[in-house]
Amino acid sequence: MRGQQSDFSPKEASGTRDSRVTATCQRCERTLNRWRRLLIVALAATLTVLLVLCMGVGVQYVRAQAVTAHEPETTATELPLPQIMSSATSSAAAADNSQLSTAQAASVALNNLTRVNTADQFATAGFTLDDSSRAQLEQVLRAFTDNGYQISFALADMSSGSALASNGAAVRYPASAIKAPYVVSLLQTGAIDLEETAAHMTSAGQYAAQLIEPVLRYSDNDNYDTLFAQYGSTSMITWANGIVENPARMQGFQYPDVSATELAKMWVNTYAYLASKESGSQAARNWLGSNMIHSLNSAIDAAHTESADESASVIVLSKAGWINGEGNYYALNDAGIILPAVGSGARGYVLAMMSDACGRNDLLTQLAGTLDDIVRSQMRTENKQNTQRRGHSQYLCESF
């Protein structure tokens, strides 16, 4: 209607536009704030994921550093161990058709070690200990007892299975000498995959190798603690069935007490495991054996390193153990496999020595050297008899 005033004056219209602009700005600001919050949340989540990933990499790096921190700069000599063992087995078998197979010799050795598991000063099973050798041993053992120490040992010839022991049944604290059998038990029972570990082909294999190698080479306690915390006693008890009397007694113990004959049996088992193609590939067995060569503080290894040139090609796989009063434990032990030169026709022998002669590595090394002389003499005698029996003079290399 003409002349009637509109409901909206120009002033009111201007205020309405300002209100709309303000409302629009407020909506935009609310929208921007909402997106800002979403972006902050997304960014925070992304940073959290990246932090977790970085921490994971850092933990693996720290683990690797912790493993390698105990390793000297020099590494163990990588030697073709399985070929050596196979060569010794093959040449021995070729030389004498009556030669026991490795598995048969191991079985005989285990039985004979059971027979010499006594408290006698000397016990033999298929082993000839002549008067001269006995006198030598008595003199070396007297050096322990005269200094107030106790000593026991057990050995087995892996060609014939014959065994020799002194006070072999005495149960003693093994200290780190038990670490190698423990590692072998994990591998042989399948708790840890030998092939994956030897080849470092998976992250699990790499991690297991990083733990095992310093344990065998340098007796790393922290890595051994980690292995035991993860795997416990189960594999060791299973593996030691028929080797250790009442293996369940080892339940829960990282360093279970054993006798010298039991420790020697563990190494007979280890010998058979390393020598058997059914145990794994040659490369994998080579990796395991090579980590036991020139192991830290080994008196057996020292006896051969310091000996004459005729032992230069002998290879020692061993693991020593020692403790001097910590927790009121006293021990100086060593055990392992002594492999002869390639082509000698012999398979070598297993030796375990257990004592409380802390710090007297000289005494243990002297005993290892004396026993080696006696074993060599025994093998020469056996070889000579076999040669005469077959009527020819080419049987086995008499350097071992």
Q: What is the DSSP string of 179-217?
A: HHHHHHHHHHTTSS-HHHHHHT-SHHHHHHHHHHHHHHH
Answering whether pTM is above 0.95, one says no
**How does residue 135 score in pLDDT terms, banded at 50, 70 and 90?**
very high
CB within 8 Å of 63: residues ≥ 6 apart: 207, 210
pLDDT at site 195: 97
For residues 7-21, give the mean pLDDT: 44
Whole-angstrom distance, CA of residue 90 vs CA of residue 213: 29
Give the mean model confidence (pLDDT) for residues 63-83: 38
Question: Which range among 164-173, 270-279, 287-296, 386-395 shows the weakest confidence by mean pLDDT?
Answer: 386-395
pLDDT at 77 over 50: no
Q: Are 350 and 112 in contact (CB under 8 A)?
A: no
Supply the pLDDT for residue 65.
Answer: 38
- Residue 300: pLDDT band with limits 50, 70, 90: very high
pLDDT-based confidence at 345, cuts 50/70/90? low
Q: What is the mean pLDDT of residues 62-90?
A: 40
Q: Which domains does the chain have, with CATH numbers?
A: 102-373 (3.40.710.10)
Looking at residue 79, the DSSP 8-state letter turns out to be -
| Cα 176 from chain centre | 10
Q: Are 216 and 197 in contact (CB under 8 A)?
A: no
Minimum mean pLDDT range among 3-12, 136-145, 207-216: 3-12
pLDDT tops 70 at residue 351: yes
**DSSP-assigned states of every residue in 314-366:** -EEEEEEEEEESGGG-EEEEEEEEEE--TTSS---EEEEEEE--TT-HHHHHH
- Residue 145's alpha-carbon distances to 139, 151, 325, in angstroms, are 10, 8, 19
Instruction: Give the mean pLDDT of the chain.
Output: 80
- The span from the CA of 55 to the CA of 224, in Å, is 25
Helix or strand holding residue 385 (H, E)? helix 361-390
pLDDT at 238: 97
SS3 41: helix
Maximum pairwise Cα distance, the chain: 149
Higher pLDDT, 312 or 80: 312
